[in-house]
């Protein structure tokens, strides 16, 4: 087993202002995604201006922050925030939900589509390709912060986290970084490169939803459930319950879009 490395969660400290690794992970994820989106529309010769892409990214940032925060409050700790309303705005203390952020991005994409007159499905396919990049950086930040660690394990690669007691635990944040980040990104890139899949608008979006749901559902078996929630129905965690609709919905629309005729 390993002892958790002594990593300062504050990456840069100017005294009057402190920048955390968590904040830098958001910046890295957004900038990297932006860069790859511009590369994708150039490679695939998609007629969308850089200005429209900039507005899309800006709207998605708002969707991620508001959706992620509200999702965490509603899905994971509504009672606490009901009695501590001021804590809602203290995002720097942690507490973001992927599923809430996902809903926020969906709304941002719909809004961007309305204002730019670009089809929603075109935006969502592009966003789906690069979304794993942000997930990768976010999970690495979770590891650096020593949060969202895994369940107790007797395997040699178990890590003793500062806030996880004296027993070694699965570094589930790294599992998620690999599967929800690197591997999912590779899958999306491979699908994008195949014209058969790329030209079936919506297939990439459905694929991202399905594969993320699958990866998240199974990795939850290694991740420590939230202490104030624990395991719920059928011994599933909240993360698994929220991922099940993604798996079913994603698979359903993958089949629908796969069999859809291409109209040129």
* Structure tokens that stand for 122 in this block: 């075109």
Of the candidates 209, 214, 226, the one whose C-alpha atom is nearest the C-alpha of residue 105 is 209
Query: HEC profile for 39-66?
Result: HHHHHCCCCCCHHHHHHHHHHHHHHHHH
Residue 44 belongs to a domain: yes
The answer to whether position 235 is within a domain reads yes
Mean pLDDT value across residues 145-169: 90
Is 48 a domain residue?
yes
Per-residue pLDDT band at 17 (split at 50, 70, 90): confident
Percent of the chain whose pLDDT exceeds 70: 97
Asked if pLDDT for residue 72 goes beyond 90, the answer is no
User: pTM for this one?
Assistant: 0.89
- Examine residue 263 and state whether it is found in any structural domain, yes or no: no
Whether 231 is in a domain gets the answer yes
Q: If you average pLDDT over residues 65-69, what whole number do you get?
A: 91
- Number of domains the chain contains: 1
Name the residue range of residue 97's domain: 2-258
Residue predicted with more confidence, 257 or 98: 257
Q: What is the per-residue pLDDT across 173-218, written as a single tens digit (0 to 9) for each?
A: 999 999 999 999 999 999 999 888 898 999 999 999 999 999 999 9
Residue 264: inside a domain: no
């Amino acid at each position: 087993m390993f002892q958790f490395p002594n990593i300062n969660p504050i990456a840069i400290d100017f005294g009057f202002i402190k920048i955390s690794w968590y904040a830098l992970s958001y910046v890295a994820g957004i900038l990297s995604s932006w860069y790859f989106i511009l590369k994708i529309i150039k490679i695939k010769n998609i007629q969308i201006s850089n200005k429209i892409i900039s507005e899309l990214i800006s709207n998605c940032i708002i969707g991620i922050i508001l959706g992620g925060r509200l999702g965490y409050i509603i899905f994971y700790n509504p009672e606490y925030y009901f009695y501590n309303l001021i804590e809602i705005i203290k995002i720097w203390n942690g507490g973001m939900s992927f599923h809430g952020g996902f809903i926020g991005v969906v709304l941002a994409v719909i809004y961007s589509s309305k204002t730019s007159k670009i089809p929603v499905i075109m935006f969502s396919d592009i966003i789906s390709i690069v979304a794993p990049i942000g997930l990768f950086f976010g999970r690495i930040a979770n590891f650096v912060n020593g949060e969202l660690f895994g369940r107790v394990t007797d395997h040699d690669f178990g890590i003793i986290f500062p806030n996880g007691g004296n027993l070694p635990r699965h570094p589930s944040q790294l599992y998620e970084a690999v599967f929800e980040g690197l591997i999912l990104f590779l899958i999306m890139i491979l699908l994008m490169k195949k014209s058969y899949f790329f030209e079936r608008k919506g297939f990439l979006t459905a694929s991202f939803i399905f594969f993320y749901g699958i990866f998240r559902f199974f990795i939850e078996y290694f991740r420590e459930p939230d202490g104030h929630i624990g395991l719920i129905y059928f011994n599933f965690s909240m993360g698994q319950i929220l991922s099940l609709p993604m798996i079913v919905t994603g698979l359903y629309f993958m089949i629908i879009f796969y069999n859809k005729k291409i109209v040129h």
